[in-house]
Structure 1
Amino acid sequence: MRQKVDNTELTEFIKEQKDEHTIKAICDALNFPRSTYYETINRVESNRDKENRELLDQITQIHKNSKKRYGAPKIYTVLKNKGYKVKYLDFKSAEIALFRFIESWYNKTRIHGSLEFLTPQHVEDLAKQSA
């Protein structure tokens, strides 16, 4: 049984493998409908998704430029000064959003080819067991 991954991750995996195998064979092996694969690759990004992606890019850049020192309150202030309409009303909601951003960036459940197609969480667990 495969771990729960989203359609975008599976689609990316299929794109990487389609030179070696047919899309039908990959989709069948993953128990992933071909119609979902084609719907995912042809999807047009919504305005909200574009805005969220741009905001996420800004947050990432601000965090990187601060040598990863800025936390949610400072990032919120910098975004506000740049003219972004940020929807965080208090420190706690900004902190939660920043935590979600970090957790989404460091995806522990996505399989990685460089980890022999294991998840980062599985590799961490194996390292703890052998230590």
Structure 2
Amino acid sequence: MTVHPFIEAEKTAGHNVKRACELLQVSRTAYYARRNGVPGPRKVRDAELTEKITIVHQRSRGTYGAPRVHAVL
């Protein structure tokens, strides 16, 4: 479960973001990074891998399952 929408709601309501982050044990840096929409390196790598998996699956005309896709990758 992510607490970032809760912190955003608190901010919109005029409450202190610093205090909300402290109470929920979330760093303000992480909150603002997620709020600004900057994808992390894991998310970027996952998107690249998803694209490759989709291509392999389409080239097999939808017949390859996870074991074959994994072998091709």
What percent of counterpart residues are identical? 33
- Tell me which amino acid in the other structure corresponds to 1:71: G
User: What corresponds to 1:55 in structure 2?
Assistant: 49
Alignment counterpart, residue 72 of structure 1, candidates 44, 66, 69: 66
Q: How does 1:6-85 map to 2 (within 5 A)?
A: 33=9, 39=35, 42-79=36-73
Write the distance in 1 (CA, Å) between the matches of 2:59 and 2:38: 31
- Point out which structure has higher relative CO (alpha carbons under 8 A, 6+ apart): 2
In structure 1, stretches of 5+ residues that fail to align are 1-6, 8-31, 80-131
What do the CA deviations read for 1:27-67 (whole angstroms, capped 9, x no partner)?
Answer: xxxxx83769xx2xx22111111111100111111111110
What do the CA deviations read for 1:77-122 (whole angstroms, capped 9, x no partner)?
Answer: 110xxxxxxxxxxxxxxxxxxxxxxxxxxxxxxxxxxxxxxxxxxx
User: What corresponds to 1:123 in structure 2?
Assistant: none
Aligned residues: 45
Q: Which has the higher helix share?
A: 2
Q: Secondary structure at the match of 2:64?
A: coil
Write the distance in 1 (CA, Å) between the matches of 2:51 and 2:42: 14
- Tell me which amino acid in the other structure corresponds to 2:47: R
